[in-house]
Structure 1
Amino acid sequence: NDIEAIKKATEGNPNVVAVFFETIQGEGGVNPMRIDYLQQLRKLCDERDWLMMIDEVQCGMGRTGKWFAHQWAGILPDVMPLAKGLGSGVPIGAVVAGPKAAHIFAPGNHGTTFGGNPLAMRAGVETIRIMEEEGLLQNAADVGAHLKAALERELGSLPGVKEIRGQGLMLGIELTKPCGALVGQAAEAGLLLSVTADTVIRMVPSLTLTKAEADEIVALLTPLVKALLAE
């Protein structure tokens, strides 16, 4: 989130050709980029003729309430890899390229054994159709806001809770102590979650999540976090 830092790191280096980043870091601890920083970075890429390559594998496909997380900043990438949610559980990956980069790969430049296979392609098409028909982008935005507000209400003021952040149904709760033990404890209570960066509870529930289910998540998680912080 520091445009001056990237300018300084690349100053005088003619070998920089692209920047590659996640709009919201997933494994790094659910760290969102600020909208103004994304806009500044788009401008810098244009000025220096760099490709802007945005990894939307985890934060894309409706997870934040828009098809792709970078859309909140009103920018367009030059290259965008996709996967995970694109296939609803069926292994799939895709790379989308704009005019500045699409010509780089020509027929015959790159091959893949299972690329374009009918099962994966059909899964991708059906995923997009269902998401559109069932309004899952809006659901992710609405239920995500509800879940975040409930987490902030129950956990936000606790000593030991550093920050609750994220957007839509991609949320992180950063604690002041390691919390890996919560993964097993939550599973025993009937809640699946993950921990990243040692101290961040990562929550990426289904885009079909309801507000009632979000409330159930908070009810299950709150006593576990309180118990951990009391140790």
Structure 2
Amino acid sequence: MARPVSDSDLASVLGGARVMPVLTVPSVSTAGRLADALAAGGARCAEVTFRTPDAEQVLKEMADHGGLTVGAGTVLTAAQAERAVAAGARFVVSPGFDEEVVATCRELGVPVVPGVATATELMRALKAGLDTVKLFPAESLGGVRTLRALAAPFPGTRFVPTGGIAAAQLSGYLAEPAVLAVGGSWMATTDHLGRGDYEEIRRLTADAVNRSTT
């Protein structure tokens, strides 16, 4: 079994990436071309959500394809976390805080990023020894203003905001010192995948990566 890691290792796992495509992929047949398009756009990492029947195979295909550090998202149970890591997930993201998911990820030696929406949930995550959390659903909760208010009493906490974020909001989130990375689905939507529009995925990814480095 891999050595236990601290959640501060997430920054190393992401390789300094500040933008993370969040992917809901209906079919494994698109995984290789999707990985190529994201990598060509400059993405270093991606989150494959466990929202579709093929999610596990998609994650494995993208992880094996090379070019991206791939994690699992929408992980709700310890069993899902185990399957995700077995498929090649380098990190695990949950929409909320679950003790069993956190404990399983620690045992497996992968960073886990639980979702929080309130100060109470954030305090539970900190008590569990986590230093990085997902603000979700970020835009519905009030966006940058809410993130700033939550970050103020908890110095040292890093946030990965996701949920309803579009290209227009990216720069605002990245300007916040407490933000480690921003997750978003606008770069590769199910509509893009349905049309097979990998060039548009590459273009949107390149634009997001450029925004994150300027």
TM-score, normalization: structure 2?
A: 0.27
Identify the structure with bigger relative contact order (alpha carbons < 8 Å, sequence gap 6+). 2
Larger Rg: 1
More helix by share: 2
